[in-house]
Amino acid sequence: MRQHIGMGKFSIWIIKIWLILNLIPIALAQTVPQPDPNGDYFSNEAPLKRKNPPPKMQAGSLWRVVSFSLNCRATPGVSQPVVRQYKQGSILEADVGRGGSDEVLMNAKDANGKPWMAVRGQSVENRCYVRANSKYIHPLSLAK
């Protein structure tokens, strides 16, 4: 025997499908960190569930230098010693210190409350900090 789906159930299914199709792009767009109105990135968001084994790179891990050059300093702050410099177009890997799923790492702040992102070097001792602002860096989207 053939079952008939009532118009009410059919309408509910159409609405569910429409919501799913319209919310997927919004969810994907939120996987890349967004700056505040001043261009500052106070957090390095990584809203992806951890997989086994965890991927090396997740949203918020990779950043492109957009300024002509960028100083990476020993500790957060413009008066701190420069450890190394990056050229425009360089790709940086944030030192996000993973420990679980759905993490958000708050970037360090200097004495003026400005955010600085820790950048990985060849070892933990080679970590340095760049100013976490859209004038200097932009997050890379892993969905591309």
Mean pLDDT of the chain: 77
CATH number for 36: 2.30.30.40
- pLDDT score of 53: 44
- Verdict on whether the full-model pTM lies above 0.85: no
pLDDT digits (tens, 9 = 90+) for 78-133: 999 999 999 999 999 888 765 555 555 789 999 999 999 999 887 767 889 999 99
Percent of the residues in the chain that have a pLDDT greater than 90, as a whole number: 43
Instruction: State residue 8 phi and psi, 5-degree precision.
Output: -65, -45
According to DSSP, residue 111 is labeled: T
- Full DSSP string of 126-139: G-EEEE-BTTTEEE
- CA atoms within 13 A of residue 92's CA, in its CB half-sphere: 33
Q: Which residue has the tokens 């919310």?
A: 23
Number of domains in the chain: 1
Domain extent at residue 133: 10-18+28-139
For residue 78, being part of any structural domain is answered with yes
